[in-house]
Chain A
């Protein structure tokens, strides 16, 4: 009887799994892969025309994304705030070979990405290529070395005098890295890299506070909001010892930013004469020099903890 039951259940189970696998094989949500770029257009047409992309779930949900400003965006902010380029503040390139754990490789990839962005925005051409090469070394260690490959380095080298091209190369590269980390379930690496990039941006912005413009000081104080974004990002991932350690390392920075007062006011959109939509209002940010000094000190401590 048992044997008879087994005879019937096995084909049923196979049929069930086979139909499920068929459904999965039919699933698609975009075009052909990068490697098949030549055939991409025909694949797109096929997918769009057939529209055969059955959903794998039926119950709707809410997807929450967490994001922090990119290192390039932070570097642009620093430049506009009148900061002077200082190569001595940058992380030592030679230290990259010494980072052997995933944790240190990830955080330092973010730190070097911050330095790369800073170098690009301040037209430090050779330095930009050097930092990109260093990022490549860490990417190799993290198993995503194909994203910053020899062709990309050559392209960056050939475009080293064209800032906009370098900005595109850097943003495309780190977008691809973030995508790969998410696809491969490497949220920890993605979170630690974002943290490293944020830390380096604030670190570079606070190296010469005494001679900083009021605009730069305000921009530093406003990073309380981006720290909030970063902590939200880190909290959105399943806890790991490395993510927990990063949150603990950032606790003194968070405490220093507590001295920045943010009063929430309603924001409103209006149209300027040229038709541009302006969003005004919003939070009022207050801070004092002692708070900025505390931020500077605490961010240097966490940065040097990981970049040693």
Chain B
């Protein structure tokens, strides 16, 4: 009788364990898809800028924000690219100096990148917003903040 009960318990637990595994692998697959998405959709947009090889990519939903603080070296040209899956709509981003003052705002500008040259080395913060949506079913998508530099 005990053997039968044990077997029944094991059978009950099996689907849960299997499904937990499916969830784990699916989450990992979503991350892998983000890397592929970034490689195919975002990296080419850096053109002749040498990419910073940091992996600043995450799966975000409407209303999310992302922030990156980085040091930019003096007398060097940079391309800052904010690349998101189209399902998330038009992302906006701002560049702030080390005191939190706004330097650039992409709102109302139809571009996903900002090209600039830094006169003096400084730390700046890039703040990204995923627009909110009234849709009943929300979607998530990859967002990548990429930084390329040259000369």
- Alpha-carbon distance A17/B59, docked complex (angstroms): 22
**Number of residues of chain A lying within 8 A (CB) of chain B:** 80
B7 at the interface (CB under 8 A from A): no
Decide if B30 touches A28 in the complex (CB within 8 Å).
yes
A66 at the interface (CB under 8 A from B): yes
- Alpha-carbon distance A272/B119, docked complex (angstroms): 12
- Please indicate which of the listed interface residues A27, A66, A72, A177 has the most CB atoms of chain B within 10 Å of its own CB: A27
Q: If the complex has contacts A63-B66, A167-B50, are A31 and B36 also in contact, measured as CB distance less than 8 A?
A: yes
A238 at the interface (CB under 8 A from B): no
- A window 5-33: CB within 8 A of B: 10, 13-14, 17-18, 20-21, 24-25, 27-33
Decide if A281 touches B120 in the complex (CB within 8 Å).
yes
B32 CB to nearest A CB, Å = 6
Decide if B67 touches A62 in the complex (CB within 8 Å).
yes
Classify the interface of chain B: helix, strand, loop or mixed.
mixed
- Alpha-carbon distance A225/B60, docked complex (angstroms): 28
A102 at the interface (CB under 8 A from B): no
B-chain residues with CB within 8 Å of residue A281 when the two chains form the complex:
97, 119-120
Q: If the complex has contacts A29-B142, A61-B64, A67-B68, are A73 and B15 also in contact, measured as CB distance less than 8 A?
A: no
Decide if A276 touches B122 in the complex (CB within 8 Å).
no
- B window 95-132: CB within 8 A of A: 97-99, 101, 103-104, 114-124, 130, 132
A-chain residues with CB within 8 Å of residue B58 when the two chains form the complex:
63, 65
One digit per residue, 1 when the CB lies within 8 angstroms of any chain B CB and 0 when it does not, for chain A 57-70 equals 11011111111111
Which 8 pairs from chain A and chain B are nearest by CB?
Answer: A30-B37, A60-B63, A282-B122, A30-B33, A267-B97, A67-B54, A178-B55, A280-B119
Q: A48-B87, A264-B98, A276-B117 are in contact. List 20 more A-B contacts (CB 8 A).
A: A24-B27, A30-B34, A31-B36, A40-B36, A53-B140, A54-B137, A62-B66, A63-B60, A65-B68, A73-B52, A77-B73, A174-B53, A179-B57, A190-B55, A264-B99, A269-B104, A276-B116, A279-B72, A279-B117, A279-B118
